[in-house]
Amino acid sequence: MQKTAATLAELDTPCLVLDAARMRRNIARLKARLAPFGVRLRPHLKTPKCIEVARELMETPQGPATVSTLKEAEQFAAAGVKDILYAVCIAPHKLARAGRLRAAGVDLTLVVDSVPAAQAVAAHARATRDRIPALLQIASDGHRSGVRPADDLLVEIGRALQDGAELRGVMTHAGASYDLHGAAALAEIAEQERRAAVSSAERLRAAGLPCPVVSVGSTPTAHFARDLSGVSEVRAGVFVFFDLVQAGIGVCTPDDVALSVLASVIGHQKEKGWIITDAGWMAMSRDRGTAKQAVDQGYGMVCDAEGRPYADLIVADANQEHGVLALRRGSRAALPDLPVGALVRILPNHACATGAQHERYHVLDGGSNPVAEWRRFSGW
């Protein structure tokens, strides 16, 4: 690893900056909120993809943890994490790879939402004499994968799993929460998520099937749930950094966003009111998640090098390596005087997508100078 830069000005741009003080505040906030409910936090590590951040998030160095790729599971397992949920429905050809992790002592739990997938897991379990645990994914809002709580498939899938593997419980994710705004709406969908998971668990138990784990969660519902009765664990991920989509939903404010992209001003188009930087969509990602929200942040909100937002200045457009800074349409703010070479920090729409564009975090901890570099990993 190269030597940590003494100041932001010594860093090559564009690069990824992590405000560790904000990150720790975000972690403490969610843990404090969940504590009265008596549920376990199983943080989703797909956002950071980083060992150092994972250790800040997890209850113990061994977990529990959630991942979205087997590459993540392998990387975190190599760092000593033993309790891992792979929270994407398993493809049968990946079972051998998952089995190698389990053979190495990792309690890796899989996810299924169909009879063929359950049968494949059970067959592999019988063949390897490893009673592979799996959760049955529930569709709590029709957002993507999962079985509806009232569907007869629920019990059929559970029985197929038990024929060699282990039905460990149910899980769901209220992805539709990202399309909502405000405490009342988010509390309502959190309750919808809870009811779907708990009622599914009750149906499985009534059919004589085990269901010790009832796993729910997304960053919005984790922060606004009013009742978690019947739930054993909550999963959330992007809360560790937050982003502008979460701010637009009303889960946080821009002052909570711990991740930013450091960029350099490389030119101007004064007649157009543009400031050009070296952080295009390759640095920010193509994610335009705020476009459908009340306030469109373009490709990101622009701050000074200390992390203080400029009034109404956004990345209004982006090419591969060029970011176009401009005032939000209709703004009466003054375009800041940013000469060539000036540094800006850009808050991302989607922390997961922006993070995925970079190999490392340049870590700040209560100040404006880097104190460490933390490696990220990528791939599947």
- CB within 8 Å of 243: residues ≥ 6 apart: 257, 259, 347, 348, 349, 350, 351, 354
* Host H or E run for residue 192: helix 183-206
Reading the block at residue 53, the tokens are 């951040």
Secondary-structure breakdown of the chain: helix, strand, coil percentages, each rounded to the nearest 5:
35, 25, 40
pTM of the model: 0.96
How far apart (Å, rounded) are the C-alpha atoms in residues 307 and 316? 19
Q: Identify the burial level of 151 via C-beta atoms within 10 angstroms of its C-beta, where 0-12 means exposed, 13-18 middle and 19 or more buried.
A: middle
Domain extents for the chain?
44-236, 254-375
Whole-angstrom Cα distance, residue 242 to residue 143?
Answer: 21
Helical (H) or strand (E) element with 315: strand 309-318
The CATH architecture assigned to 254-375 reads: Beta Barrel (2.40)
Phi-psi region of 121 (alpha: psi -120 to 50; beta: other; left: phi over 0): alpha
- Alpha-carbon distance of 332 to 82, in angstroms, equals 54
Q: Is residue 136 a contact partner of residue 142, using CB atoms and an 8 Å limit?
A: no
CA distances (Å), origin 296, targets 202, 282, 329, 354: 42, 20, 10, 17
- The pLDDT score that the predictor gives to residue 221 is 98
Q: Which residues of the chain have pLDDT under 50?
A: 1
44-236: CATH number: 3.20.20.10
Q: How many residues does the chain have?
A: 380
